[in-house]
Amino acid sequence: MESQRNCSSYFYYFLSHLSSMDICYTSFVTSKLIGDQLVGRNTISYGYCMWQVVMMRFFGLIEVLILTAMAFDHYVAICKPLPYMIIMSRTRCSVLILAAWAGGAVHSFSKFCMIVQLPFCGPNTIDHYYCDIFPLLKIACTDTYLTGVFMVANSGLVALVTFILLFGPYVVILFTLRNHSAEGRPPNTFPEDKIFALFYTIIAPMFNPLIYTLPNTEMKKAMRKVWCQKVF
């Protein structure tokens, strides 16, 4: 869809990366879960368990940071429509994506360094359908109180900062639209995808592509054009 000329907004650039992160994020759990159900197995190797811990944190934070970048994109498109193409250049959008990847790498690596040092003496049975940090802390044969406190503090700080950065632009957008309405002036028109993004930025990852694409007229035309080219 990014190759279609009529999809000129950088919104679609962020959406393509967000959809990729959705696929990667869910694949690390569902692929293993489905495979184990088919063969009747409920075990996981230590290496793959650590890999799940790292990748879930890695792709999860990247997804949140991309949503934050999309919130900033919506703010510029609605509140500063005239200089939009100057503020949201392709280079700046690429920098935001790279920053999201860097943030995910730092976050996941810090969690991995804490978990990989824990000793596991057995029985190594976790009450979960995938390897997560806190179920692993419960079966570690050492005192994990300080580690647990650090994990909670780290996750809480990340959640608080991303929450402010994610919802801050939408609060400004709502106040801007309300002020336009109070002054009797119609607000600047903006694409339908911006409206949907305003209300559905925290829906489960698997629904993001449906929410952002199917209700959008431009995306429907682009999908229809690509489909016709493949058929004919």
pLDDT, tens digit (0-9, with 9 covering 90-100), for 141-199: 888 888 888 888 888 888 898 888 888 888 888 888 777 665 555 545 444 444 444 44
**pLDDT above 90 (res 97):** yes
Give me the domains of the chain, ranges plus CATH numbers: 11-231 (1.20.1070.10)
Q: Say what the pTM is.
A: 0.72
Supply the pLDDT for residue 200: 38
Question: Residue 126: phi, psi to the nearest 5?
Answer: -110, 145
Alpha helices (H) in the chain, listed in sequence order: 11-39, 46-79, 84-87, 90-115, 133-139, 145-182, 192-199, 208-213, 217-231
Cα dihedral across residues 161, 169, 202, 26: positive or negative: negative
d(CA 92, CA 105): 20
Supply the pLDDT for residue 193: 47
d(CA 107, CA 99): 12
Q: What's the Cα-to-Cα distance from 137 to each of 29, 54, 112, 142, 149, rounded to whole Å?
A: 19, 15, 12, 9, 11
Both structure tokens of 39: 């063969």
d(CA 175, CA 187): 11
Top-confidence residue, 179 or 132? 132
Both structure tokens of 197: 């993004």
Give the pLDDT confidence of 50-69 residue by residue, as tens digits: 888 898 889 989 999 998 99
d(CA 174, CA 171): 5
Both structure tokens of 114: 């804490």
Instruction: State the residue for tokens 């079966």.
Output: 139
Cα dihedral across residues 202, 208, 214, 219: positive or negative: positive
Give the pLDDT confidence of 174-186 residue by residue, as tens digits: 888 777 665 555 5
Give residue 147's identity as a one-letter amino acid code.
Answer: T
Both structure tokens of 91: 């280079």
